[in-house]
Amino acid sequence: GAQTQAVDTLVIGSGPGGYVAAIRAAELGQKVAIVEKNQIGGVCLNVGCIPSKALIGVGHAYHAATHDTPFGLTVDDPELDWQKAQSWKQNEVVNTLTTGVKMLLKKHQVEIYKGEARFADDKVVNVMTDDSSTLLEFNHAILATGSRPVEIPGFTFEGRIIDSTAALSLPEIPEALTIIGGGVIGSELAGVYSNLGTKVTIIEGLPQILNGFDKEMIQPVLSHFENNQVKIVTNAQAKSSQQDDDGVTVTYEVDGESATVKSDYVLVSVGRRPNTDEIGLNATDVKLTDRGLVVVNDQQQTTAPHIYAIGDIVAGPALAHKASFEAKVAAAAISGQDITNDAIAMPSVAYTDPELATVGETLMSIKDKNLDAKVSKFPFAANGRAITMHQTDGFIRLITDKETDILLGAQIVGPNASDLINEMSLAIENGLRAEDISLTIHPHPTLGEAIMDTAELADGLPIHI
């Protein structure tokens, strides 16, 4: 018979949503248990954010080692041991971080249950492993079960047709790779493999890849892809696939015409769906939208008042930092704090070449909302540090309220955009004006000075342009 254990707060899923919620709830004095059916750290640490960035680093190193520089360094036929790259990614990157998360959970006395959680009723979850079953009775639960890749008809994940998880652990560097879906995940992996010399084809259904970013932003990324001989087919529908011994042929349709492309593997990266269908939610009052997302209020509370939900299973962008922020809101709310999720700035990054980062309003959103906004743009070609790094592609764009000078949005395309965007998130979250940035001393020479330059431009007093 199953044993029953009692906890204050039960967290289901240990990704950047779940593990952060568990730690914060424990810090706030609760007895916490966390259930994970797979690996501690969730998608992000094991098969998402972290291993993808590790391989992006490998791609950059290889690309740099195979391209002559303008400052007299010539390169000659370097060799990449792919097995070593893979074991470095797993053992020294992923495992270091997941071990760290396990240690943090232990430090906060969070009980870890390995197994698959399923609601038995609205106060009890059954945790199943192959040979055991444990009943956990809780006062509050936080759902953080994340998402999984979507399959499309004709492209069942099998053999040479792979999802992003398999694409991060390929047995060899493919000669040719077809990627269906040029969103952030597809484009980042196109970057990895094209930097490693793979002939990449991207098949995208929409008029452009990286759809969340505007045309001007993606221009330098398209140039890099072109230099890497990446073929991008837009407005295209992947129709069917045919696998044989030495590869897989994809048939796709563009402008009513049929075409084919053959490659070693086909990565399907067309989106992810929330893991809300297999956790027994019908035993609770938790309501889902028709897309399977959990309905929550601004405290992350579901329609069952003692159950909360965070991360990829609730509305909004599927991003690790969003999951972690919502985790802290849910843990605080459960602990009785008067808190709401009122974040203004939700940054979003694509780790392409160059990197793309955006926060707050965009060119599209100011049009949609009919905002009286000023758009100021400063190129990295006018930034000293970027020139010394030989990375001058891209720009910084600030969107300010015309009347008040308050910062509404920022877009950064260029070297280290992923880190530079943080200054803009801080500014926007705190209602700063462009003037607050131009009156802040930025060290010279840095990429971040370009933010100050853009702010000066917004205020009509540019120095460097």
Give catalytic residue positions: 444
Binding piece for ligand FAD, criterion CB under 6 A, among 34-42, 82-90, 383-391, 425-433: 34-42
Under the binding rule (CB under 6 A), the answer on residue 17 touching ligand FAD is: yes
State in angstroms the smallest separation of the CB of 122 from ligand FAD. Answer: 16
Q: Specify whether the CB–CB gap between 44 and 15 falls below 8 A.
A: yes
State in angstroms the smallest separation of the CB of 78 from ligand FAD. Answer: 26
Helices and strands of the chain, counted as H and E runs? 14, 22
Under the binding rule (CB under 6 A), the answer on residue 43 touching ligand FAD is: yes
* Separation CA 55–CA 49 (nearest Å): 10
What are 392's two structure tokens? Answer: 């001058």
Binding piece for ligand FAD, criterion CB under 6 A, among 15-23, 151-159, 300-308, 353-361: 15-23
Looking at the Cβ atoms of 143 and 432, the one nearer to ligand FAD is 143
221 to 250: interface string for ligand FAD, x by CB under 6 A: ------------------------------
What are 384's two structure tokens? Answer: 């000293």
Under the binding rule (CB under 6 A), the answer on residue 37 touching ligand FAD is: yes
* Separation CA 329–CA 103 (nearest Å): 23
Q: Specify whether the CB–CB gap between 247 and 172 falls below 8 A.
A: no
* Separation CA 348–CA 251 (nearest Å): 33
Cis? peptide before 354, omega within 30° of 0: yes
**Is 53 annotated for ligand binding?**
yes
Looking at the Cβ atoms of 232 and 323, the one nearer to ligand FAD is 323
Q: Specify whether the CB–CB gap between 220 and 413 falls below 8 A.
A: yes
Looking at the Cβ atoms of 198 and 275, the one nearer to ligand FAD is 275
Q: Give DSSP secondary structure letters for 197-214.
A: T-EEEEE-SSSSSSTTS-
**Is 311 annotated for ligand binding?**
no
254 to 293: interface string for ligand FAD, x by CB under 6 A: ---------------------x---x--------------
Q: Specify whether the CB–CB gap between 368 and 59 falls below 8 A.
A: no
Angle at 10 between CA 8 and CA 11, to 5 degrees: 145
Taking the alpha carbons at both ends of the chain, their separation in whole angstroms is 74
157 to 196: interface string for ligand FAD, x by CB under 6 A: -------x--------------------x-----------
Task: Give residues with Cβ within 8 angstroms of 464, minimum separation 6.
Answer: 378, 382, 383, 453
Q: Specify whether the CB–CB gap between 289 and 295 falls below 8 A.
A: yes
**Is 154 annotated for ligand binding?**
no
360 to 399: interface string for ligand FAD, x by CB under 6 A: ----------------------------------------
**Is 402 annotated for ligand binding?**
no
* Separation CA 277–CA 172 (nearest Å): 34
Looking at the Cβ atoms of 115 and 197, the one nearer to ligand FAD is 115
Looking at the Cβ atoms of 321 and 397, the one nearer to ligand FAD is 321
What are 343's two structure tokens? Answer: 């974040």
* Separation CA 118–CA 127 (nearest Å): 7
Under the binding rule (CB under 6 A), the answer on residue 220 touching ligand FAD is: no
Under the binding rule (CB under 6 A), the answer on residue 147 touching ligand FAD is: yes
397: β partners: 377, 411
Q: How many residues bind ligand FAD (CB under 6 A)?
A: 34
Q: Taking Cα atoms as reference points, which of 185, 214, 219, 209 lies closest to residue 410?
A: 214
The H or E element spanning position 128 is: strand 124-128
**Is 188 annotated for ligand binding?**
yes
Binding piece for ligand FAD, criterion CB under 6 A, among 141-149, 151-159, 330-338, 368-376: 141-149
State in angstroms the smallest separation of the CB of 145 from ligand FAD. Answer: 4
**Is 181 annotated for ligand binding?**
yes
Looking at the Cβ atoms of 19 and 252, the one nearer to ligand FAD is 19
Helix (H, G, I), strand (E, B) or coil at 308: strand
State in angstroms the smallest separation of the CB of 112 from ligand FAD. Answer: 11
Binding piece for ligand FAD, criterion CB under 6 A, among 139-147, 208-216, 338-346, 365-373: 139-147
Q: Taking Cα atoms as reference points, which of 32, 229, 224, 35 lies closest to residue 113?
A: 35
Q: Specify whether the CB–CB gap between 395 and 378 falls below 8 A.
A: yes
Annotated binding site for FAD: 53, 145-147, 312
Annotated binding site for NAD(+): 181-188, 204, 271
Annotated binding site: 53, 145-147, 181-188, 204, 271, 312
Binding site for ligand FAD (CB under 6 A): 12-18, 35-38, 42-44, 48-49, 52, 116-117, 144-147, 164, 185, 275, 279, 311-312, 318-321, 323
